Structure 1
Amino acid sequence: MYFFRADLCLDKPVRERGFSAVFGMELGIDLGTASVLVYVKGKGIVLREPSVVAIDKTTNKRIAVGEEARSMLGRTPGNIVAVRPMRDGVIADYRTTELMLRYFLEKAGAKRWLFFGPKVVVCIPSGVTEVEERAVKQAAYQAGAKRVKVVEEPYAAALGAGLDISGPTGNMVVDIGGGTTDIAVLSLQGIVTKRSLRMGGDKLDEAIIRFVRREHNLLIGERTAEEIKMEVGAAIPEGRPGNDRIEVRGRNLVSGLPKTVSVDSRTCYRALAETIDAIVAAVKEVLERTPPELSADILNKGIMMTGGGSLLYGFDMRIARATGLPVSLAEDPISCVVLGTGRVLEGIFH
């Protein structure tokens, strides 16, 4: 009788790490519009990179991925294009998303060996269609995953934020990402009421670009708009304490020459107000559709905010003023969704 020794087919470094390092690898992926985070079971978060890919148009080959590609946005020559393959929380460019996922999986140490491959949990917005969900699954399979499970982002965000959603009590989560905002009430390991908006941090950046163009005849890029949002952005009319101010550089639309203008916190609020109001209105709508028993729980527990967009100054105060409920910010808002996939990984493939 002959026995097949799979370990002898592998190189020495792989054999030394053991079978679990290759065959039993389980990963959680937060496939976001702005960034991708990867969680490896037993290790924690091993990768956090922007969702940007730089491609050479003449050869159709990958030039750079992640932070390196992000630094190329708006600065590339004619033959190189830096793109964001994810838009509004879903895949906008399937081929580029596959290239990006393959790169990140390999960087996290998950390579395909023989007929083995990593088991992956991927988060998707709660409002995606079946076609969009299938596209995410297929991209993960093509990137090298052996088995793929999709989980809705507000569910993962609640787990990652440390909320106990196993019992018959209500918990409310507002997850503001780069491309989507997911609002949900959870109980008994499931989502009771939800609403997903195709707007998030990217829409806030776009609003700043439009405002600066309209008010100052100045054209700025995405990175400059994001910097303005982070430095002086505010979700409340009074702005930041001291009404912080930032110098903004761009191209004058009249003369075509470089120009510098000053933007303060209250002015920035005016740029962001429309998008912020839409998110607040969606939160109130979900509360209106919540069963009364769960509403009583939320009154006691309050609302948990997660996602990078929730870091905008005063966003928690704005929602608290609009709803009359206590609002708290998760300890690590940006990592909540991918940390939640880590919780989901436990036992999901067994």
Structure 2
Amino acid sequence: MADIGIDLGTGTTVVCHPRDGVVYDEPSLLVEWPARRGRELILGNDAAALDGRTPPGARTGRPVRGGAVTDLSLVRTYLHELLRRTSRNRWRVRRPHAVLSCPVDATPLERRALLEAAEEAGLGHADLLPAPLAGALGCGLDLADARVQAVADVGAGTAEIAVFCRGTVLTRRSCRHAGDEMTAAVRTHLREHHGLHLSEAAADALKVRASAAREPLAAEGRDVATGRPRVVTVEVAEIEAALAPVVRRAVGALADFLDDVPVAGIPDLLAGGVVLAGGSAPAPHLRDELEAALGVPVKVPDRPRTCVAEGLALAGGRPELRARPA
């Protein structure tokens, strides 16, 4: 059995243990801070607090972009520090085993790069599981079921949907119209309509708050014309309108998976619907738009942010589900 499940997302990394539950849930961000002796590695929430505030010589980076590894050295460093922080005195193993998430359409080269980086970072053994299948496990779905099931995973870098039967993917779709593009849309709206320049972190926080707020929201940034600090009040409806084009593009890219679903599986989807997971699942109107486009029920689980990592931890006891490239 694997010791941990690691959902290494573009926006957030979640680590889950089969017995202890979620032990890490922080931004996928690493800052290499210049120090007297080499460098200081700052991870997660602490790194996010420094984003945009680093001195010359500091390096800030995300380990993955759009669900894919773009810098092997950065991924190795990030995972090594992540393992040091999460496994210390916890499971009494020096080189823990892990199941990591990967995009459902990841190429063999991308899979191998992630596995090699993980094992070089200090894992004794690593396996991969596509994020939608892991999300299904984390939501309590039975992957061995003969019925056709579907899970959509909308994160920061990618949105993807997979339809599977007995743990085998029948059809899939993915796109880059996801959380990062939604954040960019919020920044553009504030700049064009309010003359306010927001940091990426501030725009992302505003987007998250808008998913649950009913009252106008305060946005703090820099006035585009004067360069001075300024606070503006933004209606929730404005944020929803700014996000709407991105949501429609994501839904449009994912919805045509129905064309490839075996006709015998359509009654299964009508009965079971589609599970919507991922950190961007609560985005305003995403569920409603997807439901309207598909014509089947769309359900958001209780823990959409962490269900993929929870499924990865469970997959440690299911070797038939884990995949390693040839």
Greater Rg by CA: 1
5+ long unaligned stretches in structure 1 = 1-23, 235-239
What code does the residue aligned with 1:68 have?
D
Task: Tell me the residue number matched to 1:31.
Answer: 8
In 2, Cα distance between equivalents of 1:313 and 1:215: 20
Q: Are residues 1:73 and 2:51 paired?
A: yes
The residue number in structure 1 matching 2:263 is 292
Q: 1:334 to 1:29 in 2, by over 3 A?
A: same
3-state secondary structure, aligned to 2:160: strand
Paired residues for 1:127-138 under 5 Å: 127-138=105-116
For residue 187 of structure 1, the aligned residue among 134, 152, 165 is 165
Q: Give 1:41 deviation, angstroms.
A: 3.5
Please give the root-mean-square deviation of Cα atoms over the aligned residues, in Å.
2.3
Alignment of 1:213-252 (within 5 A): 213-233=191-211, 244-252=215-223
Partner in structure 2 of residue 83 of structure 1: 61
> What's the TM-score once normalised by structure 1's chain length?
0.84
1 or 2 for the larger relative contact order (CA 8 Å, sep ≥6)? Answer: 2
Contact in 2 for aligned 1:305/1:329 (Cα 8 Å): yes
Cα drift, residue 57 of structure 1:
5.4
Question: Of residues 41, 46, 53 in structure 1, which corresponds to 2:30?
Answer: 53
- Listed one character per residue, the Cα deviations across residues 62-105 of structure 1 (whole Å, up to 9, x for unaligned) are 33111111111112222323322221112233222211111111
Tell me which of 285, 301, 304 is aligned to 1:333.
304
The equivalent of 1:196 in structure 2 is 174
Q: Which moved more, 1:70-79 or 1:52-61?
A: 52-61
**TM superposition score normalised by structure 2:** 0.90
Candidates 294, 311, 314, aligned match of 1:343: 314
Match of 2:286 in 1: 315
Q: 1:194 to 1:327 in 2, by over 3 A?
A: same
The one-letter amino acid of 2:319's match is I
Where do 4+ consecutive residues of structure 1 move more than 4 Å?
Answer: 57-60
% identity of equivalent residues:
29
Pick closer, same or farther for the CA change 1:231–1:41 going to 2, 3 Å: closer
Shift of 1:225: 0.5
Aligned-partner residue type, residue 180 of structure 1: T
For 1:328, the aligned partner's letter is: K
Equivalent position amino acid for 1:67 in 2:
N
Deviation at 1:252, TM superposition (A): 1.8
Q: Amino acid of the residue matched to residue 200 of structure 2?
A: E
| Aligned twin of 1:44 | 21
Number of residue pairs the alignment of both structures matches:
317
1:260 is displaced (CA, Å) by 2.3
SS of corresponding position for 2:220: strand
Deviation readout 1:148-205 (Å, 9 max, x if unpaired): 1111111111111111221221111111112111101111111111012123211111
Q: How many Å separate the matches in 2 of 1:266 and 1:288?
A: 33
- Counterpart position of 1:6: none
Q: Which amino acid aligns with 2:301?
A: A
| Gap runs ≥5 in structure 2 | none
1:155/1:190 contact within 8 Å kept? no
| Change beyond 3 A, Cα 1:210–1:25 | same
Alignment check: 8 A CA contact 1:54 1:69 kept: yes
Report the residue type matching 1:62 in the other structure. Answer: E
Higher deviation after alignment, 49-58 or 25-34: 49-58
Does the CA contact (< 8 Å) of 1:195 and 1:282 recur in 2? yes
Which amino acid is 1:38 matched to? V
